[in-house]
């Protein structure tokens, strides 16, 4: 028996504004968009709702229209491991959808969010028929691979400040998350959940980045003043870590 999630029960047709926030639709030919747009659905996720669960089959390719999600899994010892956050404009799980395999991670809403879903068969139809869609998906996979390689390199250093900077750089990635722009709407507690540190330690790291004029902490979010400086901080830290080894 299949148990429908609350998100699935709250599914509805997207509004015109929500469709405008789906980045890959602009890569489709008019005939492709005309066929696919009516098949898109959105759901209103509440804090704590699961969009994907480990071991469950894939039925949709998902993206965030509004809000914030986190991607996590359980370690062999049963401890939760958070991989990344997914802010507005981010679509995820294309590798799982392509292979039609069960999810190997959980995706959960950190706050009230609007999540869009493209049915799995529609996703595969686009892979078979749309050159623009294939380019979008390849860019997604390539960018995500580079992101995870960099994350593994930096996490070996176990430096809290660098871990916070890495999470911010990932969330401000313009390829994976085009809906973010220069301001990320996130609380320090939400960032602490994603990084795996206390809110107080995250606050210290943010103040350090602010003193370097890399970011600015604003009411309800963070503004990146220099994305290049943020990436340079990570590259310099990774190089230092390699020299020490």
Alpha-helical runs (H) found in the chain: 6-9, 16-20, 30-36, 94-99, 120-129, 131-155, 160-171, 188-195, 199-211, 227-244
Question: Which CATH number is associated with domain 6-145?
Answer: 2.60.120.10
Model pLDDT, residue 75: 67
| Alpha carbon distance 111, 68 (integer Å) | 6
Structure confidence by residue, pLDDT tens digits, 54-67: 999 999 999 999 99
Structure confidence by residue, pLDDT tens digits, 153-199: 655 667 788 888 888 988 998 889 988 888 999 999 999 988 888 99
Domain regions of the chain by residue span:
6-145, 158-244
Model pLDDT, residue 95: 93
Model pLDDT, residue 214: 92
CATH class of 158-244: mainly alpha
Model pLDDT, residue 156: 63
pTM for this entry = 0.84
Other C-beta atoms lying within 10 Å of the C-beta of residue 133: 21
| Alpha carbon distance 231, 235 (integer Å) | 6
Model pLDDT, residue 147: 75
CA 73, 63, 92, 87 dihedral sign is negative
Instruction: Compute the mean pLDDT over every residue in the chain, rounded to the nearest whole number.
Output: 87
SS3 62: strand
Model pLDDT, residue 89: 94
Model pLDDT, residue 124: 98
Low-confidence ranges of the chain (pLDDT < 50): 1-3, 238, 241-245
């Amino acid at each position: 028996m299949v148990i429908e999630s609350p998100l699935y029960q709250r599914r509805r047709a997207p509004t015109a504004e929500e469709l405008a926030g789906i980045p890959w639709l602009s890569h489709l030919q008019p005939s492709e968009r005309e066929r696919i747009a009516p098949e898109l659905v959105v759901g209103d996720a509440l804090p704590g709702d699961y969009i994907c669960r480990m071991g469950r089959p894939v039925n949709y390719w998902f993206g965030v229209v509004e809000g914030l999600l986190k991607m996590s899994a359980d370690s062999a010892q049963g401890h939760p491991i958070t991989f990344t956050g997914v802010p507005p404009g981010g679509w995820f799980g294309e590798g799982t959808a392509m292979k039609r395999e069960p999810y190997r991670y959980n995706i959960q809403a950190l706050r009230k969010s609007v999540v869009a879903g493209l049915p799995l068969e529609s996703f595969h139809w686009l892979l078979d028929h749309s050159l623009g869609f294939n380019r979008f998906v390849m860019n997604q996979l390539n960018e995500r691979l580079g992101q995870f390689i960099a994350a593994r390199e930096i996490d070996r250093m176990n430096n809290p400040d660098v871990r916070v900077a890495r999470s911010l750089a990932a969330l401000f990635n313009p390829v994976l998350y085009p809906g973010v722009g220069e301001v990320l709407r996130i609380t320090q507690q939400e960032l602490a959940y994603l990084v795996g540190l206390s809110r107080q330690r995250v606050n210290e790291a943010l103040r350090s980045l602010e003193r370097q004029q890399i970011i600015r902490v604003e009411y309800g979010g963070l503004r990146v003043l220099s994305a290049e400086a943020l990436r340079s901080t990570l590259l310099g830290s990774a190089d230092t870590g390699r020299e020490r080894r």
